[in-house]
Structure 1
């Protein structure tokens, strides 16, 4: 069931990126692969289905924390979580936090 939830989330992210054409006069948006970010930075503590392990379950983290709070937690760490302030680029941090804030 949890694997299906994670698969649905990944599919929704992929589909939401389809069909977005940008005006050529505007700079191209930086594309961030959120599932890959999660895999690279989060999965070892929060699990492959966000179920937790060494870190807490974050399947519904958006019910407890808003995007700004999630950004702060990722940047500064806390409660056993290491800080990732220098590890992630700003656009990666914002994309990951936005995705996590949407998990409700």
Structure 2
């Protein structure tokens, strides 16, 4: 019986030590504040309904090679301000989403 109590005490001490070690410097284990946006996800959530699953166009124009016509900065402005029938998305998109989407689209040549 005495060995069993000793094992429980030892186990309790080990569990306490493990619990306390997890309480250390939280900054080392914290998730980044802004998770890098995934351009494909942003496209699916905001653009696919007008520009199509393959960027082929529909209600909006074909943007399969938009990077040949517009720079990344021009794409950012078009997404933010809209124009030519496109609504503005300045309020709807976070900065990192906008940047990821524009970078990806600018690379389509």
Normalized against structure 1, the TM-score is what?
0.72
1:95 to 89, 97, 100: 100
Describe the superposition over 1:43-67 as per-residue Cα deviations: whole angstroms up to 9, x where unpaired.
0000000000000000000000000
2:71 and 2:35 map into 1 onto residues whose CA distance is 23
Alignment gaps of 5+ in structure 1: 1-23
Question: Runs of 5+ in structure 2 lacking a partner?
Answer: 1-27
CA RMSD after TM alignment: 1.5
Instruction: Output one character per residue of 1:14-43: Cα deviation in whole Å (capped at 9) or x when no partner.
Output: xxxxxxxxxx8xxx5732121110001000
Residue matched to 1:42: 47
TM-score (norm 2): 0.69
Divergent runs of 4+, >4 A: none
Distance 2:58 2:89 in 1: 19
Q: Considering fraction of residues, name the structure with more helix.
A: 2
Corresponding residue for residue 86 of structure 2: 81
Q: Which residue of 2 aligns with 1:63?
A: 68
**Count of residues in Structure 1 that have an aligned counterpart in Structure 2:** 79
Q: Distance in 2 between matches of 1:39 and 1:72?
A: 19
Residue of 30, 35, 49 corresponding to 2:35: 30
